[in-house]
């Protein structure tokens, strides 16, 4: 034992999810989009000049900020951007959950929330979802240092409407409420219109799912200028240049192509509904998803066994060995062909 080992941060390693690009694999385990990003992104790549890389990128990402502000009808001072929504959320935790009081989030939700709390020493309490896996808005009615939940929630795939969100905001006016809208573009209802009324609301979105840009790491928060300024201050005290030039440019190209965005989202939604019907036909109970994935359980077959049998057939889906959901499977919506291959494999497996 060396003395310097005493000075290291003790932390349980968080292991990133399995990624594989073996040929022939049906990869439905990471909620990636089956379609490429807007053709404008490829166009931009064609014209990209490596010589520009010798310069630092625009620390404020002004072009992307402007494009997002315009897209959402907000001011540029209401848009904060980061290196994927994980970066944005980690910065939100540092910026907004500084009171020392416990923050609240559902017991079944995005698994990174407690990890950030541990890393950043933010106390937290998990509030239980109802038996139907829906969030109980009353569960947040207690003293807290902040509230965060995804809408739609993950991995449940269930979404709530603006009245529901407003109810939570009404009862939590003394803390920051973060709505994590990673999946909102697949049929959820965004809380962005509530920003006008609630200065303590922060809406976080990502380009990784609905915009097919997971590989480029682009996320953003939409909130009051006052909160945006705190996020910028924390970010600039951490790393002034988080987003690289190509990510900024490709993100801008994507936001400017709204027609393609709507079209591919609609395709994913249509495939989702078709796949849900197939799964129900195979005996699954499938929750009514507002996301690009399905959360399903089978009466007669254990989720873990199905997960492992599909893996044998080179079909990767997601299984969580966690309380309450250990008999459920999370299945990303792929192309129609991929979902047909899944259905055929399930037919053999069951």
| 148 DSSP β-pair partners | 178
CA distance 55 to 62: 16
Measured from the CB atom, the residue of 93 and 284 that comes closer to its own copies is: 93
- Under the criterion CB under 8 A, does residue 337 sit at the interface with its own copies? no
- Under the criterion CB under 8 A, does residue 150 sit at the interface with its own copies? no
Question: Contact with its own copies (CB under 8 A): which of 148, 165, 168, 227?
Answer: 227
C-alpha Rg value of the chain to the nearest Å:
21
Measured from the CB atom, the residue of 84 and 106 that comes closer to its own copies is: 84
The least distance separating its own copies from the CB of residue 40, rounded to whole angstroms, comes to 9
Question: Contact with its own copies (CB under 8 A): which of 12, 131, 299, 312?
Answer: 12
Residue holding tokens 């915009």? 211
**Contacts for 54 with CB less than 8 Å, ≥ 6 apart:** none
In the chain, beta strands by DSSP E: 26-27, 79-82, 103-106, 124-127, 146-150, 177-180, 201-206, 219-222, 284-286, 293-298, 315-316, 318-319, 329-332
Residue holding tokens 């989202």? 265
Question: Contact with its own copies (CB under 8 A): which of 67, 68, 81, 96?
Answer: 96
| 204 DSSP β-pair partners | 180, 221
- x-or-dash string of contact with its own copies, 99-128, rule CB under 8 A: x-x-------------xx-xx---------
- Under the criterion CB under 8 A, does residue 280 sit at the interface with its own copies? no
Binding residues for its own copies restricted to 292-321, rule: CB under 8 A: none
Give me the torsion for CA of 220, 224, 227, 228, rounded to 10°.
Answer: 40
Binding residues for its own copies restricted to 37-56, rule: CB under 8 A: 37, 39, 41-42, 45-46, 48-56
Measured from the CB atom, the residue of 156 and 242 that comes closer to its own copies is: 242
- Under the criterion CB under 8 A, does residue 130 sit at the interface with its own copies? no
CA distances from 256 to 65, 71, 181 (A): 12, 8, 20
Question: Contact with its own copies (CB under 8 A): which of 1, 21, 22, 132?
Answer: 21
- Under the criterion CB under 8 A, does residue 190 sit at the interface with its own copies? no
Residue 268 host element (H or E): helix 258-281
- x-or-dash string of contact with its own copies, 235-274, rule CB under 8 A: -xxxxxxxxxxxx--x------------------------
- x-or-dash string of contact with its own copies, 160-189, rule CB under 8 A: -------------xxxx-------------
3-state secondary structure of 87: helix
Measured from the CB atom, the residue of 233 and 344 that comes closer to its own copies is: 233
The least distance separating its own copies from the CB of residue 319, rounded to whole angstroms, comes to 18
CA distance 230 to 212: 29
């Amino acid at each position: 034992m060396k003395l310097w080992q005493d000075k290291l941060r003790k932390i349980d390693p968080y292991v990133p999810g399995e990624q594989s690009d073996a040929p022939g694999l049906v990869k439905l385990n990471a909620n990636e989009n089956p379609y490429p990003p807007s053709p404008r992104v490829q166009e931009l790549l064609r014209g990209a000049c490596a010589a520009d890389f010798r310069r630092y990128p625009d620390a404020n990402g002004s072009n992307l900020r402007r494009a997002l502000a315009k897209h959402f009808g907000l001011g540029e001072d209401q848009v904060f951007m980061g290196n994927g929504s994980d970066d944005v959320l980690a910065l939100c935790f540092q910026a907004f959950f500084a009171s020392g009081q416990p923050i609240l989030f559902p017991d079944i939700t995005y698994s990174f929330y407690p990890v950030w709390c541990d890393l950043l020493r933010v106390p937290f309490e998990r509030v239980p979802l109802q038996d139907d896996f829906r969030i109980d808005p009353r569960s947040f009615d207690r003293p807290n240092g902040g509230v965060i939940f995804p809408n739609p929630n993950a991995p449940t795939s269930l979404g709530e409407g603006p009245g529901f969100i407003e109810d939570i905001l009404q009862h939590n006016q003394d803390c920051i409420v973060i709505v994590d809208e990673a999946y909102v573009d697949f049929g959820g209802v965004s809380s962005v219109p509530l920003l006008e009324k609630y200065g303590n609301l922060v809406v976080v979105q990502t380009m990784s799912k609905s915009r097919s840009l997971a590989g480029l790491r682009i996320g953003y928060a939409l909130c009051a200028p006052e909160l945006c300024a705190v996020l910028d201050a924390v970010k600039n005290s951490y790393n002034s240049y988080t987003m690289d030039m190509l990510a900024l440019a490709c993100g801008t190209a994507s936001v400017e192509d709204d027609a393609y965005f709507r079209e591919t989202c609609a395709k994913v939604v249509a495939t989702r509904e078709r796949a849900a019907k197939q799964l129900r036909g195979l005996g699954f109970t499938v929750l009514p998803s507002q996301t690009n994935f399905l959360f399903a359980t089978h009466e007669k077959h254990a989720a873990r066994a199905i997960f492992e049998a599909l893996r044998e057939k080179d079909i990767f889906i997601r299984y969580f060995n966690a309380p309450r959901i250990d008999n459920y499977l999370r299945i990303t919506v792929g192309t129609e062909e991929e979902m047909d291959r899944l259905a055929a494999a399930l037919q053999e497996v069951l």
